[in-house]
Amino acid sequence: MLILHKILPLVILPVGLTLLALLAALAFRRWAWVLFAAGWLLFASLPLVSEFLLHGLEAEVPELLLSEVAPADVVLVLSGMLGPSRREGYPLNWGEGFDRFEGGIRLWKAGKASFLVLMDPAFAPLGAQTSEGKQLQKEAWAAGIPRKNVLLLGPVGNTAQEAVLFGAVARQRGWQRVLLVTSATHMPRALERFRRTGLDLQPYPVDYRTGSGDRTSLMDFFPSAHALAGTEIFFREWIGRIYYRGLDWFY
């Protein structure tokens, strides 16, 4: 099921769906499939479309100032923020999710919780000899957080596994209130999973990909690879939500 969860989006995301349409055009020799592929790819690549979809996703959970965050038992930072590994000993190659780690450190240093919990993905960054979680743990220590206050949990393959594992550990340690840190686009799906643990969650979304959403320029009508990536993030998040809900219904 974990492999299915990782592979399924590749087929039905905008790029995968475009390739399927082109294959259908070759198989059935129909120009309609070519036109569909071109039109769908153009639509998904428009900044106007990408901004609209992502802004709606990010707006589901309100953004918070640090001063608005109430104290909790623990700060939980979800995984997925390192890119392909560089040589051992060199600075980490951060991905777009760096704000997750930085946000967790900020909350801890502001005295919002005693413990910082990091999740360790089952899939290590490409070329890495050390897992992402262990690399982040070292970074947290280097940032001044005592070793006894940093807990690493894993390995985990997806958000659902993160929720199950953390929920079990939280019950063992008597944690009730949790500051959940992840990307704003990922926060709605993460909340759906972590609310099943019964814990008192305070979401702290970071890593925003859109602005206020009230300005449009001429460039918003020209396709770009960056916009296509944003549209795929939107579809990936919704595919994940539907997938998890389907599993809930099935089991």
Examine the pLDDT at 248 and tell me if it is beyond 80: yes
Examine the pLDDT at 251 and tell me if it is beyond 80: no
For residue 211, is it within any domain? no
For residue 217, is it within any domain? no
Q: List the strands of the sheet with 200-206, edge to edge.
A: 150-156, 115-121, 74-77, 177-183, 200-206
For residue 75, which amino acid is it?
V
Q: What is the pLDDT of residues 116-159, one digit of tens each?
A: 999 998 876 655 678 889 999 999 999 999 999 999 999 998 89
Question: What would the DSSP string read from start to end of 212-237?
Answer: -S----GGGGS--HHHHHHHHHHHHH
Mean pLDDT of 28-33: 93
Look up the CATH number of the domain holding residue 118: 3.40.50.620
What pLDDT was estimated at residue 34?
95
| Structural domain containing residue 26 | 2-59+225-250
What pLDDT was estimated at residue 231?
96
For residue 216, is it within any domain? no
Do 80 and 191 belong to one domain? yes
* Alpha-carbon gap, residue 28 to 136, rounded angstroms: 50
What pLDDT was estimated at residue 1?
57
What pLDDT was estimated at residue 116?
98
Nearest to 186 by CA among 236, 116, 137: 236
Do 126 and 177 belong to one domain? yes
Q: What is the pTM assigned to this prediction?
A: 0.90
For residue 229, is it within any domain? yes
For residue 215, is it within any domain? no
What is the count of structural domains for the chain?
A: 2
Bridge partners of 203, per DSSP, are: 180
Q: What is the pLDDT of residues 60-108, one digit of tens each?
A: 999 999 999 999 999 999 998 888 776 766 788 888 889 999 999 999 9
| CB contact at 8 A, 113 and 71 | yes
